[in-house]
Structure 1
Amino acid sequence: MRSFADVQELVSSQITEKCWQQQDFSGCDLQGIELKELNLSGANFRGANLNCANLSGSILTDTDLSEADLTQANLSHADLSYANLCGSYLWRSQCSYSNFWGASLCGSDFTEADLSYAQLIEASLIEAKLIRANLQEASLCGAILLEADLTEANLNGADLTWTNLTKANLLNANLWETKIIYSKLRDTMMPEGTIYKPDIIIIN
């Protein structure tokens, strides 16, 4: 397992982007590390400590970040399409304008995270925690939010077209100008505290 110093040496040596791909950082303590605007596609960060790390603008496609600690990490403008973040901790992380297209986010914790303008199209967010998360203008078209917790989340202007919100919790969520078209809302907890029973709702 690589140490923080080992990884920092790789950064300072300015190795080619190709060398970063498929690298194994699983279980590493990388708290506060600078990995900005790097190509880390296919890398393994499973269980790594990336608390307060800066990964803004980096390419993290197909990267394994499952069970990683990304608390207060900066992932803004990063490409995490098809990445695995299942069981990861992203409490108060900065993810604005990030691309999570097709990513696996099952059981991930985005409590109070900034996901404004993020692309979460077709992402799997089963049982994810998005409590008080900022999802303003985010796109969640086709995303699976089965049993996800969106309590007090800001979904102002977000696009939830064809989203599966079965048994999701939207209690006290902000749905102002939110697009919820052809979305599944079976047994969904609505903002006012009622349980929605019909299978499909169309809101223009």
Structure 2
Amino acid sequence: MTLTTEAQEKTLNQIPEEIFTQLLLSRNNLSGIELIKVNLSEANLVGAELSSANLSGSKLKGANLSYAKLLQVNLQNADCAEASLFEANLSNAQLAKINLCGAFLWRAKLTRTNLLAASLCETDLSEADLSFAQLTEASLIGAYLVKTNLSEAKLCGAKLQEANLTRANLCNADLRWANLTGADLTEANLEGANLYGANLTDAKLFNTIMPNGAILPNNLAVA
């Protein structure tokens, strides 16, 4: 049985939280549902339909949201540390100040997603699509961004120390005042990117395409 959004909202105040998980597991269409500050830690939500849902402030630590549809979802201030979001679709989502540290978002879609001041330390975003994403002041220390699409992304003031950006697409990205200390930019494409005030101390720039289109030679590191 598929519940309507109105019926879902009325029911949520009458049933315990473990039932929420059962609803999600039953593959009901929960688009637009209100689940503010709900505890769904370790929940199995593979393939869940939660587009436009409000999960702000909720706890989803260690939850499995692989293949989930989360378009325009509100996960602001949510705790999704160590969650699995393999190939999940979070396009146009509101993820400001979310905690995704240690999470797995390989090949996830985050086009035009708001990740303002998000915590993404040691998060695996390899081959994810973050084009046009808002990542101003986000913390991506030690993050895995191998072959990640960050074209046109706003990374002003972002913390990218020791991040792995090998073969990442950073074309026209805004990296003003970003901290890229020790970051690996091997074969990354920075053409058209704004690096004003960025810290590239000890960054690896092997065969990197720079903002002016020049390709740096092998074995060059910024001291």
Q: Greater strand percent: which structure?
A: 1
CA distance in 1, matches of 2:25, 2:43: 12
2:22 matched residue in structure 1: 5
Which aligned pairs between 1:69-84 and structure 2 lie closer than 5 A? 69-84=84-99
Instruction: Check the 8 A contact 2:58/2:75 in 1, yes or no.
Output: yes
Pair 1:50-2:65 in alignment: yes
1:195 matched residue in structure 2: 221
Residues 9-51 of structure 1 deviation map (CA, whole Å, 9 limit, x = unaligned): 696588963xx10011100111000010011100111000000
Question: What amino acid is aligned across from residue 7 of structure 1 in structure 2?
Answer: L
- The counterpart of 1:68, out of the listed 83, 86, 93, is 83
Question: What amino acid is aligned across from residue 123 of structure 1 in structure 2?
Answer: A
Pair 1:111-2:137 in alignment: no
CA distance in 1, matches of 2:70, 2:29: 15
* Structure 2 residues without counterparts, runs of 5 or longer: 1-16, 209-215
TM-score normalised per structure 2: 0.83
Which aligned pairs between 1:117-156 and structure 2 lie closer than 5 A? 117-156=132-171
* Structure 1 residues without counterparts, runs of 5 or longer: 198-204
Distance verdict in 2 for CA 1:80–1:33, change over 3 Å: same
Report how far residue 7 of structure 1 moved.
2.7
CA distance in 2, matches of 1:170, 1:117: 20
- The counterpart of 2:174, out of the listed 159, 163, 166, is 159
Give percent identity, aligned residues only: 44
State the aligned residue count. Answer: 195
- Please tell me whether Structure 1 or Structure 2 has the larger radius of gyration of its CA atoms: 2
CA distance in 2, matches of 1:14, 1:174: 37
TM-score normalised per structure 1: 0.90
Residues 132-159 of structure 1 deviation map (CA, whole Å, 9 limit, x = unaligned): 0000100000000000000000001000
Residues 73-109 of structure 1 deviation map (CA, whole Å, 9 limit, x = unaligned): 0010001000000000000000000010001000000
2:48 matched residue in structure 1: 33
Question: What amino acid is aligned across from residue 194 of structure 1 in structure 2?
Answer: L
Say which SS state the counterpart of residue 7 (structure 1) adopts.
helix
CA distance in 1, matches of 2:165, 2:52: 30
